[in-house]
Amino acid sequence: MLNYFREKAMTKEELIELDKKRFELLRWIYNEYQRTKNRFVHIFKLLDDLEHQEKFRQKRELSDISLYLSGKGLVTSKRDDGLIVWLEQKGIEEIEEAIKNPDKSTEHFPAPIIQQFNNITGNNYGGINQQAGSGNTQINNPNNTLNLE
């Protein structure tokens, strides 16, 4: 779980994981917009299948990430907790730039983060295939859900 009130700074690995989650959520929001043609996106839909305790943990993390994206102007939060957002043109352009040029960094995300999501194009909305490696998990996500583990 994200904890912004730490006594020590986040490690490089923790910051990279956080950037991955931020990019993944922005991409999920973009995919929802493409699927529904509605810029209002209800992020809490991601929580529907979780058990109560896990739902609470994930809700907090999604809220923190969503509010970060809002602070960068990629989305506009429509609730205090950030779980309903309006996808801004800047957010659309950020993801479309990543789709067109996955080898290049965008304004908010470095190329290695973008390249982790090698299935960013096509009709598989929300399909997530991350590179597997030591300690990583291969994820295939055809139901447009988000894995924040």
CA 147 centroid distance within chain: 9
Taking only the tens place, the pLDDT of each residue in 64-76 is 999 999 999 999 9
- State phi, psi for 80 to the nearest 5 degrees: -60, -30
Q: How far apart are CA 104 and CA 120, in angstroms?
A: 14
Taking only the tens place, the pLDDT of each residue in 38-55 is 888 888 777 776 666 677
